Structure 1
Amino acid sequence: MITKVKSFEELTKLELYGLLQLRSEVFVVEQDCVYQDVDGKDEKALHVLGIKDGKIIAYTRLFKPGDYFKESSIGRVVVARNERQYDYGKRIMEASIKAIEDHFNTTRIKISAQCYLQKFYSNLGFVSVGEDYLEDDIPHIAMIKN
């Protein structure tokens, strides 16, 4: 898998279609969660694409401090179901953390993590803060990396 970091304006039509398709496949269909994925925030975000054999198989979107949370943030973390056994989740997150450092000049990152992935994010240096909460009827927890 190779990674690319692009602004919204730099995305090609095929890349935009691919990342939206992946997000829909996982968040809406696989997780059976009806929610507004195309939320008007993609235009502000940096997009980290994980590409294998010409197809987007992993993805995150990044926000600078103040655009989503007070801290910089990583969201819409997703890996295609048939690619999860290859450690691409860790690789796309490491690329995302580096992109935040490079583009936003900060190491403080906040995420809204699905609770079942708490250990995964802890292994990347994130620490849980506060209580669990429901986001789109899925249990989440806020996590911070300093």
Structure 2
Amino acid sequence: MELIVKHFSELSAEELFEIYKLRISVFVVEQNCPYQEADDADRAAYHVWLKDETGIKAYARVLPPGVTFDSAAIGRVIAVKRRCGLGSKIVAAAVNIAKEKFGADKITIEAQTYARRLYEKAVFHQTSEEFLEDGIPHIRMQLTL
């Protein structure tokens, strides 16, 4: 499994297509949630993914402070195959990228509530009550580094 880290400006058209195809298949189609999945935050992000010879297996985007939150942020976390450790690996990689690229001392996420344990394993803690975003229960969480 290979870890790829690229800023938006470095992505090839093919890489961007594969990222958007995966994100839309999960966040729009699978979750039956019509919303503007590709957004302007993508342009400021580092895109991080694990791939093998068949394609992307896990993905996350890492945002600098000031784009979505005052702190660095991680979002759009996907593991194609669930409950096999890929989610934890991509979250750990995203945390490392936030530290390396932005000198992050705090990382904020808005996690789907069902995925809380994944982020708690990475030492994120809940900082908000549950709220609906695009009809899906979420919680805000933070990691202090």
Q: Once the 2 structures are TM-superposed, how far is the Cα of residue 14 of structure 1 from its aligned partner?
A: 1.1
CA offset digits 1:12-54 (Å, max 9, x no partner):
1111011001001111111111111012221111110211115
**Regions of 4+ moved over 6 Å:** none
Asked if structure 2 preserves the Cα contact closer than 8 Å seen for 1:15 and 1:56, the reply is: no
Aligned to 2:70: 70
Query: What does residue 107 of structure 1 align with?
Result: 105
Q: In structure 1, what is the Cα distance between the partners aligned to 2:18 and 2:120?
A: 29
Contact 2:78/2:87 (CA < 8 Å) preserved in 1? yes
Query: TM-score, normalising length from structure 2?
Result: 0.95
Whether the 8 Å CA contact 2:4–2:49 is kept in 1: the answer is yes
Amino acid of the structure 1 residue aligned with 2:99: E
Corresponding residue of 2:87: 89
Residue type of the partner of 1:139? P
1:92-129 Cα offsets, whole Å, 9 max, x none, are 11100001111101231000000011111111010001
Q: Does the aligned pair in 1 maintain the 2:41–2:63 contact within 8 Å?
A: no
Amino acid at match of 1:137: G
One-letter amino acid of the counterpart of residue 58, structure 1: A
Aligned equivalent of 1:51: 51
Structure 1: where are the runs of 5+ without partners?
A: none
Distance 1:97 1:127 in 2: 14
Secondary structure, counterpart of 1:144 in structure 2: strand
Q: Percent identity?
A: 39
CA RMSD of aligned residues (A): 1.1
| Structure 2 segments unaligned to the other structure (5+ residues) | none
Query: d(CA) in 2 for partners of 1:8 and 1:128?
Result: 29
SS of residue in 1 equivalent to 2:41: coil
Cα shift at 1:130: 1.8
1:1-146 aligned at under 5 Å gives the runs 1-80=1-80, 83-146=81-144
Q: Distance in 2 between matches of 1:38 and 1:90?
A: 24
Instruction: Check whether the contact 1:22–1:57 (CA below 8 A) recurs between aligned residues.
Output: no
